[in-house]
Chain A
């Protein structure tokens, strides 16, 4: 569930005819790796843990590479090449515990002129010098530049895709229309280079597209995606209201053998905890939440530890939201935690 660039479309209360999200629509690949321009928004969300390839003992760092596509409808016809409806927003961050701070960068552009586009048919999304695409070798590739450091990464799939919800239809609120098409690709093996030096690690791809995502009562959400050391994958999320109560919740657990369990809203219990106040924005973030989920009728408690508390991302000057997106560990796994709507309500 994610995320923020959604903000781009915030005021689009226009009655535009976006494509609706419906259950029972089968996902087809590689077409669904590509863009769905008829929907209001979608994202390609790669999060992972990196370390230098040569030194296995070196401390790991977190990385996040995200591309958003947002459709801003236009009325009437236009003769201008600038009159495109699609906006591409990309965000990349590197969390080095040694520095204690996040380094991040953004790119944003309306599509067109060969400078920004999200291809249909297969994964290939680019904005200016940044690009995320699927190669003929079946691997995913990313090129981004963060604070002068180029990240050139390849992601090799080691497991099949994980369709979230009911065959890729993932409900996000009490109404069936509050939903997205959602699949993940856990346990991607990272190879490539960071600033020219070889790196290795494990990543996770999240793919969602939707036109109506949030319940009107919702102010934000929390999300967690974990690559488990045993080869399993755990996804948990909840949508919050103003009081911090869950409007909706969900997720899934897939074990190493591929057996997948989808959680019902009452099978996820998420409590904000481990508050950290950002010295820059003044916002408070629950970076160590207490999370439980019920798997096979048994409540499991996971203890979440952030790689470092300061993984706040302020992209407000670039037109994005203020949120917290951080590398976290749990006993027996590592992944990414996302917190939104804590500084100000997220409107979608």
Chain B
């Protein structure tokens, strides 16, 4: 007997899969896509983060500890001897570090130019030798620094292998570059010994660096080597007691977490989206398996009668799920690796997010992560099979053998409370605070909302159709369609679950992206009120001197010039830097909140960006202390402005106050208003000609329209992944609708035969099917859009502020939503008709006979 059962099982299984290759393939594909996306995002992230981390470690030379200036303008170098004499410090190495560039820099959004950025480092070679051996040069003669060619020989520079490669220069050649607003020409003495292959950096003598960059008396960091056996905590405490307000102690761990923090929110969000895609895959497996179970109920009943226990039935379905999951996971891993490869090559390691400029990503194949994602896919497929398997096992064989409808009494109301409970739990989680600075709970809430929405479908379908069912219709096809949908809500919801899930996700993403894009666009218009903008790249160490500024301001055709000095400040050791923007003239930013109270005496008015307020807890009206140019300054927070450009915070000060506090007269940016009738092109050319030749390569001019276009282009590119996800989700959903429909239609052949028998016409039947399809599509669209709007609200109001610390205004892309609903309805109706046509091709006699 057992033999018969197992043979029958295998035979039925093979038969089912032979009969339904498309649906099985679809389920596999759904799992594969989820696994592929998750794996690809993980691969790209770890590649980018790894290379970025290695590049950062190279620039830092792998010191035990580092004291860093909070601002690019550096700190007093006299801290160096004090640190060097501290007990527990074996050696201290003072370092000048500035951003520099060679050649002409590419503008964002335009093709690459023959130039690039690099980090220029000035060291005392004799100190660096002990503290950061990676920053020591190897000359052609082979040995480093001292001995064969003293490092402090003037006019010499050592380049990292990556920079040598990028510039195409060889030792002995002249290297011309721009740093601190001046042009430099040095002879390449050799390459840096241990700077890795990723970082673009160059090293010169520290005295020469201070002279060339006009940085006398200041260093950006002091690298420290601990004495053997020194207690890091005790030494750190001693260092901390010495530090002036404009310096902070950075540990390698802190630097790593800073690199991590740079892109963490972006990475985690992408990862979550991939998991959501996997979840959609799970729903599709569930829907596919449920349909197949429903269709095979008589087969299962036969097997049960033959003696197959219920556990065996569940086992059989689970084996099917396992095979689906394994195939999906395997395909997903291959697909994911290919996708990651493509993404890294096309968009760079940050998928166009712009977080890891300058680092070359390398893709690896991490076996553990691969196993984890494959496992996730497998679990999803198994879970998707387990639910319908348990349901099928519960149905009494006698009822199932007859193959009647849902296997449930149509008179019984579908339960609404599990769905409602899930929705309530999801809503509660969605409003929870962030975990570890990330919206993990909000994402969990979204998953629950999704599950709740799908679980609610049978009840919802019945509730929506109840009024229609009560009224009925004189038109037979409509009446039949309504009664069918009303009477078999389980089957309806099965067909719908996939499409509801994918529609909801698509709507959520579309609404979020549309809201974000609209807000960014409005913001761009608000922050770009002038006619022409000038930005100096890599000019933090020193931009345009007052004489240069005067030359620019005197260019004919200008009605006004608003100078700006931008520099980055590190307020906390493990946090990315905050931008300090000293603006001349009236600040052109969209204010969200402001205070009209006058600034208290002795304070400087400051406007802070939304992320700044969020990350550091600054409130409007408060007075906060900030170290500027080595001295603590009291800032009065006069307002909060919306900023999408600087995720880690920005502070705007009046330029005059900044100059008074620091004595720094240079600028790095300027906005120009044209005189009436002036030609922008001619003025731009005149401005470019008025710039000192050394910074010509760094200078980037922009006009608001073009800058807006480029910004939105970059925006679209960073959301390219999101768009791709959306498209995949919707395609899977639509294909899911098509296959479920055709399956259901095929399953109802006997019903059609009977209807034909009692005189319902073929046309009427087709109408009935089309109406049924449209009705289902409509219910799915309404439910999906409603659920999607809820999810969008979570994305816009919770996930984004928690991840990126900015808010946005909700904007609904109505045409897109309407189009989506229409496409759903049309697709559902169309598939139903197509399937119906095929099914009704055979004569009614044959169809009825098949029933008995």
Contacts and interface: CB of A to CB of B under 8 A. Distances in A.
A69 to B, nearest CB: 13
B177 interface: no
A126 to B, nearest CB: 12
B210 A82 contact: yes
Interface in B112-133: 124, 126-127, 129
Closest 8 CB pairs of A and B: A319-B146, A82-B207, A83-B207, A80-B207, A80-B210, A113-B81, A79-B216, A82-B206
Interface stretch (A7-15, A173-181, A230-238): A7-15
Contacts of B148: 10-11
Given A79-B210, A87-B126, A318-B129, A115 B147 contact: no
B679 to A, nearest CB: 44
B269 to A, nearest CB: 46
B77 interface: yes
A53 interface: no
B152 interface: yes
A265 to B, nearest CB: 30
Contacts of A331: none
Interface string A90-113: 000000000000000000111001
A80 B206 contact: yes
A318 B147 CA distance: 9
B126 to A, nearest CB: 5
Contacts of B216: 79-81
8 contacts: A74-B154, A78-B211, A82-B124, A82-B207, A110-B126, A115-B84, A319-B126, A319-B129
Contact of A109 (B85, B126, B153): B126
A72 B152 CA distance: 8
A113 B222 CA distance: 14
A108 B211 contact: no
Given A10-B147, A82-B206, A128 B84 contact: yes
B189 to A, nearest CB: 11
Contacts of A321: 147
Given A79-B211, A110-B124, A115-B81, A316 B206 contact: no
Contacts of A114: 81
Interface string B205-223: 1111011000011000000
Contacts of B146: 7-8, 108, 319-320
B211 A80 contact: yes
A338 to B, nearest CB: 19
Interface string A50-81: 00000000000000000000001011101111
B152 A110 contact: yes
B129 A78 contact: no
B731 interface: no
Contacts of B124: 82, 109-110
B147 A319 contact: yes
A128 B126 CA distance: 12
B252 interface: no
A80 B152 CA distance: 13
For the side of the interface on B, what is the size category? Answer: 20 to 34
Given A72-B150, A78-B211, A83-B210, 11 more contacts: A9-B150, A12-B150, A74-B152, A80-B208, A82-B94, A82-B205, A82-B207, A108-B129, A110-B126, A148-B228, A319-B147
A104 to B, nearest CB: 15
Nearest to A14: B153
A275 B707 CA distance: 75
B149 interface: yes
Interface string A107-125: 0111001110000000000
Nearest to A7: B147
A319 B149 contact: no
Residue with the greatest number of chain B CB neighbours at <10 A, chosen from A9, A82, A87, A128? A82
Contacts of B149: 11
B80 interface: yes
A291 B691 CA distance: 72
A319 B150 CA distance: 9
B143 interface: yes
B127 A109 contact: yes
Contacts of A7: 146-147
Interface string B27-67: 00000000000000000000000000000000000000000
Dominant SS among interface residues on chain A: loop
Interface of B: 77-78, 80-81, 84-85, 91, 94, 124, 126-127, 129, 143-150, 152-154, 205-208, 210-211, 216-217, 228
A76 to B, nearest CB: 8
Contacts of B206: 80, 82
A318 B128 CA distance: 11
A321 B85 CA distance: 27
Contacts of B217: 81
Contacts of A9: 150
B300 to A, nearest CB: 77
Contacts of B126: 87, 108-110, 319
B145 A319 contact: yes
Residue with the greatest number of chain B CB neighbours at <10 A, chosen from A75, A78, A84? A78
A74 B216 CA distance: 17
A4 to B, nearest CB: 10
Contacts of B205: 82
B186 to A, nearest CB: 14
Nearest to A108: B126
A82 B123 CA distance: 10
A165 to B, nearest CB: 29
Contact of B154 (A8, A75, A84): A75
Contacts of A316: 143, 147
A202 to B, nearest CB: 32
Contacts of A84: 207
Residue with the greatest number of chain A CB neighbours at <10 A, chosen from B127, B147, B153, B228? B147
B140 to A, nearest CB: 12
Nearest to B206: A82
B850 to A, nearest CB: 89
A300 B80 CA distance: 55
A8 B84 CA distance: 23
A204 B649 CA distance: 65
A72 B124 CA distance: 14
Interface string A275-299: 0000000000000000000000000
Contacts of B145: 319
Contacts of A108: 126, 129, 146
Nearest to B92: A115
Interface in A291-336: 316, 318-321
A83 B129 contact: no
Given A109-B127, A115-B81, A319-B126, A8 B150 contact: yes
Nearest to A79: B216
Given A72-B152, A318-B129, A83 B211 contact: yes
Residue with the greatest number of chain A CB neighbours at <10 A, chosen from B80, B126, B217? B126
Nearest to A109: B126
A74 to B, nearest CB: 6
A113 B92 CA distance: 12
A55 B217 CA distance: 53
A87 B126 CA distance: 9
Nearest to B143: A316
A78 B207 contact: yes
A81 B80 CA distance: 12
Nearest to A148: B228
A315 B85 CA distance: 24
B185 to A, nearest CB: 15
A11 B81 contact: no
B211 A11 contact: no
